[in-house]
Chain A
């Protein structure tokens, strides 16, 4: 099983600032099958990034993903008020699919 470790656990930032979230895998993620999801309270999660760097349909270009192998990053270039949420990375290239424990992006 691939274990995904996200850091930091919580990121306290102000609107307009840049957010950098990290996801490290315990072994190489097959074919960069790495996704990022945004999850707000009371809502279903939303796919942001797949294939490590491809934005999902309708996702603003302030969200970007990078990385390969075991190290991946989600960057939000300028935080908007609606971006404060919990973010999960997920590998979907091997079974069982696994999620990181999440990074909470909160308003400073």
Chain B
């Protein structure tokens, strides 16, 4: 089965670090761009950035540049989203999502992970 499976929910304190994961299976992980999308409580979808696991080419939305780090380990078919110092405003659901077509950077979002809920509270 072609799928993206994300790591479980996290509860953290402000200032802590965090790395969440997204594991792909059932397809050639290195051939498809992976995006990260945020949904804050009661709000809409926001694109954070994108990575090509084949060569780790990474691009960020200006809104998230410097706030998070996107990475991938192609040896274990896993992409990551990490924070060095969380804020309460990082509380959200985070989705990883794959493009519909292999190799294309401008492409619709076709395969979604189940989402990871991150709660940051003192």
Binding site for B on A (CB under 8 A): 1, 30, 33, 35, 37, 39, 44-47, 50-51, 56, 88, 90, 92-102
Contact = CB atoms under 8 A, between A and B. Distances in A.
Contact of B100 (A50, A88, A94, A95): A50
A94 to B, nearest CB: 8
Interface string B51-71: 000000001011100000000
Nearest to B107: A92
Contacts of B109: 35, 37, 45, 47, 90, 92
Contacts, number: 60
Contacts of A100: 44
Q: Could you say which of B45, B107, B110 has the most chain A C-beta atoms within 10 Å of its C-beta?
A: B45
B114 interface: yes
Interface residues of B, number: 21
B108 A96 contact: no
Contacts of B45: 37, 39, 45, 88, 90, 99, 102
Contacts of A30: 106
| Chain A binding surface, main DSSP class | loop
Nearest to A54: B108
Contact of A99 (B46, B106, B113): B46
B27 interface: no
A70 to B, nearest CB: 18
A56 B110 CA distance: 8
B114 to A, nearest CB: 6
Contacts of B100: 47, 50, 56
A98 B113 CA distance: 19
Interface centre among B47, B113, B114 (most CB of A within 10 A): B47
A32 B97 CA distance: 21
